[in-house]
Amino acid sequence: MPPGWNAVSAFVVQLCLANQTKLMTEPVPPTAPFLKLENIGKRFGGTVALDGVDWSVNPGEVHCLVGENGSGKSTLIKIVSGVHRPDAGGRIVIGGTAFDHLSPHHAKKLGIQVIYQDLSLFPNLSVWENIAIDQELGAPFLAVRRKTMRATAKEVLANLDARLPLDAIVGQLSVAERQLVAICRGLAAKAKLLIMDEPTSSLTHHEVVRLLGIVHRLKSMGLAIVFVSHRLEEVMALAERVTVLRDGRKAATLPAKQVDYHRLAELMTGSRIDHVLKAPGLETRESVLEVRGGGRNGEFADVSFALHAGEVLGIIGLMGSGRTELALALFGMTKLDHGEVWVDGKPLKLHSNQDAIRSGIAYVSEDRLLLGLNLRQSIADNASITTLDRLANSFGLVPPQRRSKLAFEWVKRLGIKASNTAAAVQTLSGGNQQRVVLAKWLATNPKILILDTPTAGVDIRNKQGIYGIIHKLAKEGVAIVVISDEIPEVYFNTDRILHMREGRLVKEYLPGATSEKLLAEAVFA
């Protein structure tokens, strides 16, 4: 860890504390909101996406907008940024002027900038060109004014007290640095309201801390900031208010200090969800998988652990800790440079993932949308892809009814919500897509199932469903590894937890013998 980090975290904590005390001692001065929505509704055909939403964001405020998938978050953002036109009867008031709708161009002119989750940067262009791209949108055959553009980029970075090499190519920067470029571009376009969509979802803990430092800076510059997110633990510390959307309506707007994880979950889902602490004391069974001194140069080293039948083992570690690299090596996608893998008491040489699949190992990747599914194909196509040779008849051909039968079975067993097994996977919700990936691997009858961040991008209700499947499989005797960086996910759903950091397993925890808080402190230390 670079030496500056502790100082940065301490700095942010102090900022938050200073803020809190100020709020407690003096009442908030009555500022006019920068953005005010009144009675905003939006229908798409027969479905109501938004219904009578009132909402406001003040200058200098950090405001969190939360809600499950389909709650209307993105529709609301698109109305504010001028992409969608709200239904008649609502008003959008910006800086005191009322509009019944905006266009994207008009919204930008009024100072509304959205930083999308994909950041919408140009990976092939330099930092300065990305930041000042607006200055290149004029008459096509005018000369580019490099000096002015570079000066703009430099000035914006200086305002944020941030440093980036101006001539670096954006595609070669880290995710956090790219995010900084996107923020700078918003500022260079004279943003007054900055809407950030899922800004922390692909950042490491330290990067989140640094982002919060920058957000604090933006706040002190008088910008209004909206965070749209599923995962808000870190952001709550800095936010003034939280607005929860549920089924297109505003469930509540609350001061951020009055809400915790459970209260939010309740507001988002409309029902109370409690974690069930799994009983410890799994009887000692034979180990199905053993790793002895496993290592890959530059990725991880000295990894040794055993996994037992029916056990759910959590591996917790931040992004870059080597957790995904370890999983890829166990699945035969990469080769170990050191150490051995034993399966069922025999050493196993993994030359490719075919070897791993043959010895009963299945792996569900981190990025299901990119790597785990063919979104345009049907549920049956996706679910049967791993077992085509077993489904084949004596001519080596796969009869379609065998595939749909297999798919139908898994749709039933995993409770996948779909009209039929011929439906394209892209028509399903995130949680159901995740289940199709599971089905695809469960169809191979694995003895060992490795799940890499299995609930990324899945909302709270569906998370519970996936945890249920994990526990059911474990009961049936499947050994399961859950790789994650979400403390509650690992703490409440595994029998044993290994903490991975800087490519090494540093400590083992038993959920019954430690607290969620202690684990969080160890991981984020």
Partner 1 sequence: MRKLLAPVFNRSESSLAVVIIVVVLIFSVSSPYFLTLSNTADLIESYSVTTILAAGVFVVLVSGGIDISFAAVASVTQFIAAMAATKYGVPAFPAIALACALGALMGCVNALLTYYLNVVSIIVTIATSSIFYALLIYFTGGSEIYNLPDWWTDRVVFLRFETASGDFARITLPMVIMVLVVVVTHLLMSRTHAGRQIYALGGNPEAASRVGIRILRLQLLVYGYLGFLAGLAGFVQAHRVHQVVPTAMFGTELSVLAVAILGGASLVGGLGSMGGVVLGVLLLAILQNGLNLLGVSPYFFDVVIGLAILISISVTAVTQRRLRAKRGNSELRHE
Whole-angstrom CA distances from 227 to 65, 96, 114, 262 are: 6, 23, 10, 19
Provide the minimum distance between the beta carbon of 390 and partner 1 in the complex, in angstroms, as a whole number.
35
Residue closer to partner 1, measured from CB, 99 or 122: 122
Give the Cα separation of 455 and 77 in Å (integer): 24
* Three-state secondary structure string covering 213-232: HHHHHHHHCCCEEEEEECCC
User: Shortest approach of partner 1 to residue 118 CB, angstroms?
Assistant: 8
H or E element at residue 339: strand 338-343
**Which residues of the shown chain bind partner 1 in the complex (CB under 8 A)?**
1-2, 104-105, 108, 116, 118, 120-125, 129, 133-134, 136-144, 172, 174, 204, 298-299, 318, 320-322, 501-503
In the complex, the smallest distance separating the C-beta of residue 206 from partner 1, rounded to whole angstroms, is 8
Cβ distance to partner 1 smaller for residue 90 or 503: 503
Burial class (CB within 10 angstroms; exposed 0-12, middle 13-18, buried 19+) of 90: buried
Q: What are phi and psi of 51, to 5 degrees?
A: -145, 110
Q: Give the nearest distance from C-beta 245 to partner 1 in angstroms.
A: 23
Q: How would DSSP label each residue in 163-219?
A: ---TTSBGGGS-HHHHHHHHHHHHHHTT-SEEEEESTTTT--HHHHHHHHHHHHHHH
CB of 15 to partner 1, least distance (A): 24
Select 213 or 322, whichever has its Cβ closest to partner 1.
322
281: left (phi over 0), alpha (psi -120 to 50) or beta: left
Shortest separation between residue 430's beta carbon and partner 1, angstroms: 20
Q: Which is nearer to partner 1, 301 or 478 (CB)?
A: 301
Provide φ and ψ at 262, rounded to 5°.
-70, -40
Report in angstroms how near the CB of residue 138 gets to partner 1 at its nearest: 6
Q: Which is nearer to partner 1, 64 or 181 (CB)?
A: 181
Q: Would you state the torsion angle of the CA atoms of residues 101, 105, 109, 115, taken in this order, to the nearest 10 degrees?
A: 100
The residue among 121 and 451 lying less far from partner 1, judged by its C-beta, is 121
Q: Which is nearer to partner 1, 260 or 502 (CB)?
A: 502
